[in-house]
Amino acid sequence: MSAMTNPTAADMNRDVRLAKALVRAPADERAGACRERLGGYLALLAEDAGARVRRMEADRARDVAEGTVRLARHLLVERTGEDPAAVLRLRAGVVEQLLRFGARPL
């Protein structure tokens, strides 16, 4: 895998698939490490995605994209008492959506 400071889309997609497989054992050490990497990817992708959203025309697609970027930024902070499986699923899903949207790490 590439260094966390320069992950590729392939690295991110690999961790999305891994997260989906590990969701049944969210307390597993590998799941925790994956959750952290996904958080790093969200931080890298959210800024670019936000810039792309600001250039979109005001319509339903922009509303959806803005909501996804807001959720990505919200998921950057792990809160005490959160369900680790839910965080893993959500982070994986939002990384997947941002990649599909065409966001790239800055």
Q: Looking at the domain assignment, is residue 16 inside a domain?
A: yes
Residue 2 has pLDDT above 70, yes or no: no
Q: Which residue range(s) make up the domain with 97?
A: 9-101
Local confidence band at 4 (pLDDT 50, 70, 90 cut-offs): low
Q: What is the pLDDT of residues 91-102, one digit of tens each?
A: 999 999 999 887
Cβ–Cβ under 8 Å, residues 9 and 68: no
Cβ–Cβ under 8 Å, residues 104 and 45: yes
Cβ–Cβ under 8 Å, residues 31 and 25: yes
Q: Looking at the domain assignment, is residue 3 inside a domain?
A: no
Q: For residues 18 and 57, what is the distance between their CA atoms, to the nearest angstrom?
A: 35
- Domain count along the chain: 1
Question: How would you classify residue 15: left for phi > 0, otherwise alpha for psi between -120 and 50, otherwise beta?
Answer: alpha
Q: Looking at the domain assignment, is residue 4 inside a domain?
A: no
Question: How would you classify residue 13: left for phi > 0, otherwise alpha for psi between -120 and 50, otherwise beta?
Answer: alpha
Q: What is the pLDDT of residues 31-72, one digit of tens each?
A: 999 999 999 999 999 988 999 899 999 999 999 999 999 999
